[in-house]
Structure 1
């Protein structure tokens, strides 16, 4: 009995001491259930958000240009189709990853009313650059044999020239786009000592990149997390519900675009000569490039979702219409194709400008880089899947069925777009 009383007195004294310390210390709020769930997610995702908050843009631009120059220089040295496909994938990875960064650069510090015009202007420059590249590549390929240069050798030489152009752009970007230092030198030295000198390779750069399709890396890492703590849903922690719904719409209608574009090259090549196929692609790209700036002005007067839904609805008609109309106009295929793909290019100008505008408005300044990266990753993943599906459907059921499936997916995307208001 005495032993029990002494134990009780010890417990009472211990409890009193704890209460005394609690009165002297600031009270700490118990984490909310949502906070605890966020704390359990993979630690690398906050690193991406931290990089967005630092507003570092220049390194991503320079890395993209360096990767582009290196990839273009390696293509002529490739000795197998698999190597060429891999380098092509790396090139598209680098280019796609740069797009959200460029969108951030053009809207930063600008009033909201100017965003659409700036985004449209950026897309216009990119569009005309793309058209110029198509023209240069085609002219080079046609002219080189006249000077005694073999076709394959001429194409290899062209890649080296393009690599030099990209390297020149890297030098100019480094000189013309300085990024002011935002970290105190003493603090930088303290933080840099914490990192291992042996862990500054490409792996860290890839894992730290928060833009473009590199977001897919986070998704795959989270899906394979140990202990069940990782999931794709962790990427969307903190993303507003309206933005989540819109990203789903982007993924669905991007899937539909890819289902259409996947079998298009084979479809056109069955009816047209190589030069005519180039003319059709040129018509589509010219349609986009010429309409970016007018669309930017129009987006300032018409709600973005309304404008985008209208462009998507036009694509729902054009995708299967390409197969139906061209089947009826067998004697004038090239003009019909040029008009159809020119209109498809015009709709892309509307979709590109309004998509960036919607995502930019649905996110705050601190999370805008992450939101644009998620949008690009969603579109990139959907494009990869949609291209494969389009090829399979076209091979099994024909081009008309494939284009109809593409239109159905775009129609589903319109429904999700309108539901995400």
Structure 2
């Protein structure tokens, strides 16, 4: 075989390899019962707090503490997984935490007990945030990392939506404690499926070398950043204004998301309507994620700007409902849908910008900084939201969120 023919054969082999679409690893589906349970129960903590006598301040504090515990837990379990070179035990730990803590929540009697349980629950549940991504990267070839991460989160995201739909129908017949016990039971199969299907991958993942940031779906009702894979931090000069802008964005998100169920509940709407709003939010995001990702191209900045404008539109929409009470419900549903749609632009473009702006050796640490700053902003916004609503009402809290979004846009343009 001539040298020219050999080169042609090698090039064809490489090309075919990159056109190859890998099959979905079977263990991805072990997350479905787990995601159905966590999605369906995601709204219940807020509603149960209100039923037990809590207020908007209580809900804001609960979300802030849970988000802090989730951030610390993701960093803790991720590093422990790297040190031990084990993935499976931490995934099973997260699976097992769902039936245990949801069942315990069904028997609490005071808001304080529920807050304490939910905070500890968030810490253990965080083992399912960063650790599975490392396992995904060991389950598919390097050139298919984006595909693998995208498919894993697609399966998880639709499981989350299915849980919300199930909660919507069951909430008509069951009390909140009964719903918690139901979702606790639904999550149990994930433990056995994970034990049978997840294969250990005792190989070290160099997190600093991973540039596959863009294709993930954040389906949590809290919109807490869940792609916490990187645990090193840096502050590249090119990203300082970007980080500040996103801190403001996440403070705004913390002022909005935790309090929307409180708003609907206080205005007399039942659990079904809260579930319906969350279904609109999550389903719109999941439906548009791939399309936005494929169409973004090199226009990352304009994609991000469009997402922030859509988020501002979501806040304006719900504020209109505050002043025109008869149309509050349809406007709140539209606001939630817009918020979900906006995240498809914001989530993809922001992580791509961090990856692009950071130096080659700083990609991992730059993403770690992004996650911590985002988390800190959301925690701050959640903690402030309750106090603001108690003092100046929902209009004041959402108005501040709108101003912060404007500040975020201004800093990004700078």
Aligned counterpart, 1:83:
113
Q: CA deviation at 1:361?
A: 5.3
Query: Within the alignment, does 1:286 sit opposite 2:283 as a pair?
Result: yes
Query: Within the alignment, does 1:267 sit opposite 2:288 as a pair?
Result: no
- Say if 1:131 and 1:48 are closer, same or farther in 2 by CA, change over 3 A: closer
Aligned counterpart, 2:249:
253
1:374-419 Cα deviation digits (max 9, x unpaired): 4443333322220221222233223223212102212323344455
Q: Is the 8 A contact 1:120 1:295 kept in 2?
A: no
- Say if 1:125 and 1:365 are closer, same or farther in 2 by CA, change over 3 A: farther
Distance in 2, matches of 1:88 and 1:47, equals: 18
- Say if 1:47 and 1:320 are closer, same or farther in 2 by CA, change over 3 A: closer
Q: Is the 8 A contact 1:324 1:400 kept in 2?
A: no
Scaled by the length of structure 2, the TM-score of the pair is 0.63
Aligned counterpart, 1:16:
none
Aligned counterpart, 1:73:
103
Query: Within the alignment, does 1:174 sit opposite 2:195 as a pair?
Result: yes
Unpaired segments ≥5 residues, structure 2: 1-74, 205-225
- Say if 1:168 and 1:358 are closer, same or farther in 2 by CA, change over 3 A: farther
SS of aligned partner of 1:252: helix
SS of aligned partner of 1:142: coil
SS of aligned partner of 2:199: coil
Distance in 2, matches of 1:104 and 1:358, equals: 22
1:191-241 Cα deviation digits (max 9, x unpaired): xxxxxxxxxxxxxxxxxxxx97899xx9xxxxxxxxxxxxxxxx63x5644
SS of aligned partner of 1:143: coil
Q: CA deviation at 1:283?
A: 1.8
Q: Is the 8 A contact 1:326 1:337 kept in 2?
A: no
Q: Is the 8 A contact 2:105 2:114 kept in 1?
A: yes
SS of aligned partner of 1:92: helix
- Say if 1:316 and 1:110 are closer, same or farther in 2 by CA, change over 3 A: farther
Scaled by the length of structure 1, the TM-score of the pair is 0.62
When Rg is computed on C-alpha atoms for both structures, the one with the higher figure is 1
- RMSD (Å) for aligned C-alpha atoms: 3.9
Query: Within the alignment, does 1:320 sit opposite 2:341 as a pair?
Result: no
Q: 1:349 aligns with which of 339, 344, 351?
A: 344
SS of aligned partner of 2:172: helix
Alignment of 1:127-142 (within 5 A): 127-142=157-172
Q: Is the 8 A contact 2:85 2:202 kept in 1?
A: no
Query: Within the alignment, does 1:306 sit opposite 2:302 as a pair?
Result: yes
Q: CA deviation at 1:315?
A: 1.3
Distance in 1, matches of 2:86 and 2:353, equals: 23
Q: CA deviation at 1:65?
A: 2.0
Count the aligned residue pairs. 317
